Structure 1
């Protein structure tokens, strides 16, 4: 997520993200310092529990805990890929690659005869 500070002074803020369903878990980001007239990218630790659409409410708070802007509603489309599916796909790709190499070797041998 990219945060932009268009103000003339640096800001110390905290970003609070509140998922509206239990399909997603969001990690804590902690306090963020945005220098004056700067952009900062923040990595948000996310764990997807179930596929589907969910809503996350985002708000900025100052160091006193007061919200200083309107809340933002983020709609996210989540998908989960099972580790078994990932292994199967990787295995199939590897077998396809090996079959292509074997076919190329056969063609080279035939052309030399």
Structure 2
């Protein structure tokens, strides 16, 4: 079972294992916000199965760098399937063409079959 970890400001930080979540709660570093399933019981403690925990202190999260756009990345993201017909994609097309100020970013690029690309006028 996996547990969502929220920062002290209720921002999602990560997803951790059930064991790690219990360790954080028992160490006093986190509190349980949502529980699922049967509670854990020991001789002197009954603890619900945490599905969401909140850290007591704010933790600075590292900034993640943006992944650069590439033909291989777009094809992999779309599963080598054409966005228009579902066929096997071999090329990448701009949704808004570059001639109309379309940019090279993840939202404006899609995988496309060669015939569909030809029909669109690419």
Q: TM-score, normalised by structure 2?
A: 0.21
Find the structure with the greater CA-based Rg. 1
Q: TM-score, normalised by structure 1?
A: 0.22
Which structure has the higher relative contact order (CA within 8 Å, separation 6+)?
1
Structure (1/2) with the larger strand percentage = 1
Structure (1/2) with the larger helix percentage = 1
